[in-house]
Amino acid sequence: MAPAAPALRRYLLLLAQEHLEFRLPLPYLQSDSTYKVHIHTFNKTLTQAQKIKKIDALEFLPFKGKVNLKNPEHIFWILEDYGMNPNDVPEEPMHLYFGRWIADGQRELIESYSVKKRHFIGNTSMDACLSFIMANHGRVKPNDIVYDPFVGTGGLLISSAHFGAYVCGTDIDYNTIHGLGKASRKNQKWRGPDENIRANLRQYGLEKYYLDALVADSSRPIWRKGMLFDAIITDPPYGIREAPRRMGSQKETVKSVERRYTEEIIPRHPCLKLISNCEQMLSSHTSRRLITMEKVKEFKDQDENSLDGQYMPYRGHNSFREKYFSGVTKRIAKEEKDNQK
């Protein structure tokens, strides 16, 4: 790893002068071997000419073998990390990695399960990449039971079923659960008779893992007490594309409070332990967070006493919809831009 490296050649030249020969064992550099070099970037796209230029910069390395682009014995990778903010991409990579390929991961799943090819989609269908990341955070494994209380079109159920878990979900929208109403796909006015969550799982050969999807209001739990699920994975509505709904006659107005991210927003519960808090930048002034929590004990009656102020639901983030439509987010972005001048 090379933090804030100004150029790939400069970094690798330094390694070569010091101890690169020990990092790359001799069997991979012999004259009777074949190899090729790939380059991959994070948060930045390079042209083919730029990639070739970076690969040519490695000519000083002690490769004795022959280049074979079709069927090499060894594949070496250059990985360049340009940070996490798509709105502020640096000219030079923040980190550089160079090493030998050992095995592929599962990134091909992103294309195989692409929402563009999915039979049943909605306005807020979770993209395949994030869906699989969330399933990994939930440690989904074969024979688990996974539940999504805001299931929508079932994108999170698909990724969990891929790993062999049995899946179920609920949603307050009757039309979504039953595949009725207007279609979200371009050039299609109404949903077809076979557009539903089960059909999506059937499309990927995962129908055997489908338990059911119910119409229910998540603010009024329908489940009995006890151990029901191995993982609960969900993407709650933000209220800016699919309007949030609430059943019943009770009405309450929550005053919009302009707040930025603070630790007090993180959900808390006496039976849950925070495992990770990951941020995804959506724009220069808006982001969302993936919160992963692990159940560490069963809820008992005495835990009611632990539900003091620190465990009460934080409600400031519920004003996001009001801020979004009132232009507050745009004003915040303008203030940040002015402060940088």
- In this structure, is residue 132 part of a structural domain? yes
Q: What is the pLDDT of residue 220?
A: 87
Q: Residues 90, 199: one domain?
A: no
- In this structure, is residue 37 part of a structural domain? yes
Q: Which residues of the chain have pLDDT under 70?
A: 1-26, 239-259, 305-337, 340-341
- In this structure, is residue 274 part of a structural domain? yes
Contact of 323 with 256, CB cutoff 8 Å: yes
Q: Residues 319, 226: one domain?
A: no
Q: Residues 113, 235: one domain?
A: yes
- In degrees and rounded to multiples of 5, residue 317 shows phi and psi of -70, -15
Q: Residues 189, 207: one domain?
A: yes
Q: What is the pLDDT of residue 184?
A: 78
Q: Residues 229, 289: one domain?
A: no
Q: 230, 251, 272: which is the final residue of a domain? A: 251
- Angle, CA 185 vertex, CA 183 and CA 189 arms, to 5°: 45
Helix axes 128-137, 155-162, angle to 10 degrees: 60
User: Can you give the residue range of the structural domain that contains 54?
Assistant: 8-100
Q: Residues 20, 110: one domain?
A: no
Sheet holding 231-232, edge to edge: 210-215, 166-171, 145-148, 231-232
Q: What is the pLDDT of residue 179?
A: 84
Q: Residues 246, 143: one domain?
A: yes
Q: Residues 81, 133: one domain?
A: no
Q: Residues 178, 84: one domain?
A: no
In tens, the pLDDT along 78-108 reads: 899 999 888 999 988 888 888 889 888 888 8
- In this structure, is residue 45 part of a structural domain? yes
Q: Which residues pair with 290 in a beta bridge?
A: 278
Q: What is the pLDDT of residue 255?
A: 36
In tens, the pLDDT along 251-299 reads: 433 333 345 777 877 888 888 999 999 988 887 777 888 999 999 988 8
- In this structure, is residue 3 part of a structural domain? no
Residue with tokens 């910069």: 57
Q: 214, 229, 251: which is the final residue of a domain? A: 251
Cα–Cα nearest to 232, from 148, 140, 292: 148
Contact of 100 with 219, CB cutoff 8 Å: no
Q: Residues 115, 247: one domain?
A: yes
- Number of structural domains (the chain) is 3
Q: Residues 148, 84: one domain?
A: no
- In this structure, is residue 1 part of a structural domain? no
Q: Residues 150, 228: one domain?
A: yes
Residues ≥6 apart with Cβ < 8 Å to 256: 319, 322, 323, 326
Task: Report the CATH number that the domain containing residue 76 is assigned in CATH.
Answer: 3.30.2300
Task: Report the CATH number that the domain containing residue 234 is assigned in CATH.
Answer: 3.40.50.150
Q: 100, 129, 158: which is the final residue of a domain? A: 100
